[in-house]
Amino acid sequence: MNSDAVQDQSAVFTMEGSSENQSALIAESNHQIQNYVMTNGSLIPKPEREVDPMLASDSQVTSGSKEKPALSTMPFIMMLLKKRLHFLPIVTAIWIVSSFIISYVIAVCYGHVEPDFPYISYTAISAPERCIFSLMVNMGSFMLAANVYIKYKQTVQAFQLFKAVHRDELINKISLIIGLISAFGLSIVANFQTVDARPGHYIGVTMAFGGGLIYCWMQTSLSIRYHRWSCVAISQLVNSIMLTSCFIIFGVSKAIFKTRESQGHGTKHDTLRPVYLTSTVFEWLLAISLVTFVLTFYRDFSRVHLRFIKVEIQDQEKVKRDYHRNCRNSSEDQPVNEPEGKEDMV
């Protein structure tokens, strides 16, 4: 539409139409002119720049965005992990260490173990400490596996920036598998008590401690390679050295204690007391060192956000039909309540 056509159309409206029709038609012509200008002129609004939901702040994400739900509608734990992911290593370490301490305190209070100083496994032989130990350590093993997986994904993203070599990518993948095996071994330790299921318990201990030791050294090697001698790399190196020392001392001292005890050279209450205490103390230090290694992930986790799994219904029409059919069937199955005194009605 051009301006001449609009003027001719306005003249015809003035000559032939009534006053009401003229007003309506003139308004319509003005609306057409406005649409023409909006389409071909400079009044078209510029599209807003798209905002990455993962990089934008909360105020930059519109309410209609489907990528990032409003934080007020999210469960507290999901919101905490999404916005404060670096708290996960802290919660994991505190939770697992607390499970050891709580079961130990309960076992001592009930007189099930001696106060100084039992193996960790012997604090979870009898109820009720066994139930609490199994529950808390199972949850802790799940959180430990979550730390291992998130660290793997974070390292994959970092490798895209650093252009890592294939060897380092392979180390990262292998460390993921070993870390998950270590976390699963911790769950086996919690569910297979050392007295009732000794073979399964020792398998779990080997998976948890042995796999954890290998995992820590693999992560330390990657940190030294890419972080050089930063605080994170040094902390992981010190932790891995301490973990290795505790692992060796614990294994050797326990082997000596079991061998001499089986040969009749004493018990843990007399001549073999020093060897026994050495093995128990270093088992506690070994477990605590292994668990607290995840604290070195704090800095890396503070720089990433977590995307949660999104669930969508594929065939929505079928779901609606099933829902209405079920509602109709349930209404037909309900008995009809006849009004009182119907028999007396003529």
Q: 157 and 19: one domain?
A: no
Q: What is the dihedral of CA 130, 136, 137, 143, to 10 degrees?
A: 170
Q: 11 and 95: one domain?
A: no
CA separation for the pair 44, 310 (Å, rounded): 35
Look at residue 55 in the predicted model and tell me its pLDDT: 32
Q: 224 and 117: one domain?
A: yes
Instruction: Assess if residue 232 is contained within a domain.
Output: yes
Q: How confident is the model at residue 75 (pLDDT cuts 50, 70, 90)?
A: low
Instruction: Assess if residue 21 is contained within a domain.
Output: yes
- Among residues 167, 127, 151, the alpha carbon closest in space to that of 293 is found at 151
Q: How many domains does the chain have?
A: 2
Instruction: Assess if residue 92 is contained within a domain.
Output: yes
pLDDT, tens only, 127-162: 899 999 999 999 999 999 999 999 999 999 888 887
Q: 121 and 201: one domain?
A: yes
Q: 26 and 91: one domain?
A: no
Instruction: Assess if residue 62 is contained within a domain.
Output: no
Task: Classify each residue of 208-224 as buried b or exposed e, where b means 16 or more C-beta atoms within 10 Å of its C-beta.
Answer: bbbbbbbbbbbbbbbbb
Say if CB 26 and CB 10 are below 8 A apart. Answer: yes
Tell me what the pLDDT averaged over the chain comes to. 78
Q: Comparing 44-58, 75-89, 93-107, 328-342, which segment has the lowest mean pLDDT? A: 44-58
272 or 325, higher pLDDT: 272
Instruction: Assess if residue 182 is contained within a domain.
Output: yes
Is the dihedral angle over the CA atoms 61, 67, 68, 74 positive or is it negative?
positive
pTM, to two decimals: 0.70
- Residues making up the chain, counted from first to last: 346
Domain boundary among 301, 320, 340: 301
Tokens representing residue 106 in the block: 């309960």
Instruction: Assess if residue 128 is contained within a domain.
Output: yes
Instruction: Assess if residue 54 is contained within a domain.
Output: no
Look at residue 337 in the predicted model and tell me its pLDDT: 57
Alpha-carbon distances of 54 from 80, 161, 279, 281, 298, rounded to whole Å: 15, 17, 48, 45, 19
pLDDT, tens only, 257-281: 999 988 888 888 888 999 999 999 9
pLDDT, tens only, 154-179: 999 888 887 778 888 999 999 999 99
If one counts every other C-beta atom within 10 angstroms of the C-beta of residue 292, the result is 20
Instruction: Assess if residue 110 is contained within a domain.
Output: yes
* Domain of 17, in residue numbers: 3-39
